[in-house]
Amino acid sequence: MVKPVFLGKLVLHWCPECNVPVLDEKCACGCQTKFVTVTPPADIRPAFPYDIKRINEVSVRQFGKKMIADGEIAVYNKAPYDDRMEEIICGGEIIGTIRFEIDKPGWVLLPRLSGARRIFNKNSKTEDPDAETNLKNWIMVHEKAIPFVADGSSVLVPGILKTAPGFEKEDEVVIITPDFEVIAVGRAKMSAEEIAASERGKAVKTRWTGIEEENEINTAASVMPADKTIPEGTATRDIWQKTIEANRRVIDKFEADSIRFMQNAANNMNRKLTCSYSGGKDSLVTLHLTEKAFGKDSGNEREYEIIFADTGLEFQETIDNVKEVVEIYGKPFKETSAGNAFWEEYKINGPPSVDNRWCTQSCKLMPITTVIETNYAEDGGCMTFIGQRQYESKARAKSQRIWKSPSVRGQIGAAPIQEWTAMHVWLYIFDKNLHYNPLYEKGLDRIGCWLCPAASLADFENLKHTHPEAMKMWEGKLVEAGVEKGIENPEAWVKFGLWRYDKLPPLMQKLAAEKGVKYKK
């Protein structure tokens, strides 16, 4: 298990009155908020409709029913894991986790007690007389076993009354009483068929256990917004309008602090001003703040230019978004492209890896250097406002807010949103109605080089649906590279993301052995 890392302050709270997330101890309505404990680094963000759809699809596949109601506000918190894992926060608590398990490969939902109680509860049979048939992956225990399981014990075969059919060993299961009340969730250590045929043995290793409190909120309907149910297809920013208003003071304060920082930094540096725009959410907010700080309506008008370095591996949606955003702001635009550099070097180096990202120099640093040296060298360089945030990585958390670039000559970087979480960023985007990259609505967690080896396997699986032709081409090239390397079972080497490593970490070594992937000695 990957250890959590603190990169910044944990800021997620929940307003019990408005029933929305708030990034402060007090909601704009005046109500004191409840602190929500999440796993660090806590770079929380809104769960988009695409995310909710995925959660519910997995919930229906595993348990036979949706876990989140249509239009319900949910927050994602990316937690440390071997691939991609998100904590799901609704109604002021974590109701479960959804993670991408590499060995399947596929998404798995791990509900907590409150999440399981949205699916299974004492009203289940009243609402659906065929609940035992329609709901999945449940195990019903005898009355005498209830206190032991609820207190944290594993579920043993002798204590089982009956089970749903069809679940397999290592599936997620929900432990219920004869009244359909949830007392535990965990992972099956025997299949339903094995349980039925056995008289003894450990059937489930429980993860979360406990008896439901009398006043506990336990259904999706009870945590829906009180004023309205939001119809499917509603724009994401409209779904989050109530949350924006609840965070009004936070949004305004963070904006004012960032603008003040930018103006002070610019006044202390006698350099031309630029803003780096990549087509991503962070640089979009940074660009808008640059306009607020130095635009014609700022009261502190000063010229600045927008710069963009195309790595040659950008999504077409990103290229389109950059052009559209530049047109919206109407500022001088300086750009360059790495062109075909990646594919030329690929012929020599083969696929890049986490251990050897040879492409960074040719596709990222060289184009940025070209933009700066070509346009600003005669002026002594430039100051560039960059959408860097401390919650993204250890390196960025340790970074100064203003720095002299060690790799790009003549550039001084400044990070106005260094202390913002992704939630601050998105609430600002929604509030100001900024023109963000549509790829975020399609399940992409990061916008950058589309075939980056540092991306999760979950991201590559998603690309098979959003950009099937590109992924088909890339996987074909990877299989060819695997054959050239003398790898046995190169298809599995690609399918399970093993190509991303020159030296396999322990987990990947185990996976390679299980999938029959052998490396030439």
Indicate the SS3 state at residue 426: helix
289-315, pLDDT tens digit by residue? 999 999 999 989 999 999 999 999 999
- Indicate which CATH number applies to the domain containing 159: 2.30.130.10
Indicate whether 320 and 384 sit together in one domain: yes
Kindly report, residue by residue over 421-455, the tens digit of the pLDDT: 999 999 999 999 999 999 999 999 889 999 999 99
pLDDT, tens digit, 9 for 90 and up, residues 285-295 = 999 999 999 99
Residue 459 within a domain: no
Closest alpha carbon to 182 in 291, 348, 270, 63: 63
The answer to whether the bond into 41 is cis (omega within 30° of 0) is yes
Does any domain span residue 417?
A: yes
Residues 298 and 423 in one domain: yes
Among 197, 218, 239, identify where a domain stops.
218
Please check whether residue 88 lies inside any domain of the structure: yes
126 is a domain residue: no
Per-residue pLDDT for 230 more than 70? no
Question: How would you class 486 by CB atoms within 10 Å of its CB: exposed for 0-12, middle for 13-18, buried for 19 or more?
Answer: exposed
Contact between 495 and 103 under an 8 Å Cβ cutoff? The reply is no
Whichever domain contains 286, its CATH number is: 3.40.50.620
Looking at the structure, do residues 269 and 397 belong to the same domain, yes or no?
A: yes
pLDDT digits over 77-121, tens only? 999 999 999 999 999 999 999 999 999 999 999 999 999 999 998
Residue 271 and residue 187 share a domain: no
Q: What pLDDT band is residue 123 in, cutting at 50, 70 and 90?
A: confident
pTM reported for the whole predicted model: 0.94
Residue at 227 is within a domain: no
Q: State the pLDDT confidence band at 2, using cuts at 50, 70 and 90.
A: low
Query: Which residue, among 2, 5, 29, has the nearest Cα to 15 in the 3D structure?
Result: 29
Q: Are residues 488 and 390 in the same domain?
A: no
Model pLDDT for residues 236-251, shown as the tens digit of each residue: 888 899 999 999 999 9
Split into its structural domains, the chain has a count of 4
Would you say residue 235 lies in a domain?
Answer: no
Could you tell me if 256 and 356 lie in one domain?
Answer: yes
Give, rounded to a whole angstrom, the gap between the first and last alpha carbons of the chain: 30
**Residue matched to tokens 């540092």:** 454
In-domain check, residue 59: yes
Question: What average pLDDT does this structure show over 9-37?
Answer: 96
C-alpha dist (Å) from residue 20 to 41, 50, 159, 434: 21, 19, 41, 22
User: Are both 20 and 79 inside the same structural domain?
Assistant: yes
**SS3 at position 174:** strand
pLDDT at res. 131: 82
Q: What is the pLDDT of residue 238?
A: 84
**What are the structure tokens assigned to 218, written together?**
């336990």
Q: How far is CA 40 from the centre of its chain?
A: 13
Mean pLDDT of 412-425: 97
Q: Contacts from 287-292 at CB under 8 Å and sequence distance 24+?
A: 287/325, 287/329, 287/385, 288/428, 288/432, 288/434, 289/255, 289/258, 289/259, 289/262, 289/385, 289/416, 289/417, 290/262, 290/385, 290/416, 291/329, 291/331, 292/255, 292/259
The two structure tokens encoding residue 412 = 């001084």
Same domain, 84 and 177: no
pLDDT on residue 393: 80
Domain containing 375: what range?
247-442
Q: Which residue is associated with the tokens 């081409």? A: 473
Helices (H) and strands (E) in the chain, counts: 20, 20
Q: Residue 360 has what DSSP assignment?
A: I
pLDDT tens per residue across span 175-212: 999 999 999 999 999 999 999 999 999 999 999 999 98
Q: Is 107 found in the same domain as 11?
A: yes
Q: Which residue has the higher pLDDT, 227 or 131?
A: 131
Residues 62 and 84 in one domain: yes
The region, left, alpha or beta by phi > 0 then psi within -120 to 50, assigned to residue 84 is beta
Query: Does residue 289 sit in the same domain as residue 437?
Result: yes
Q: What is the mean pLDDT of residues 144-159?
A: 97
Sequence-separated (6 or more) residues with CB below 8 Å from residue 380 = 270, 271, 410
The enclosing H or E element of 266 equals: helix 248-268
Last residue within a domain, chosen from 66, 97, 118: 118
Report the pLDDT averaged over residues 23-45: 96
Of 76, 96, 118, which residue sits at a domain end? 118
Rounded mean pLDDT, 68-72: 90
In a domain, 298, yes or no: yes
Average pLDDT, the chain: 92
Check whether residue 184 and residue 140 sit in a common domain. yes
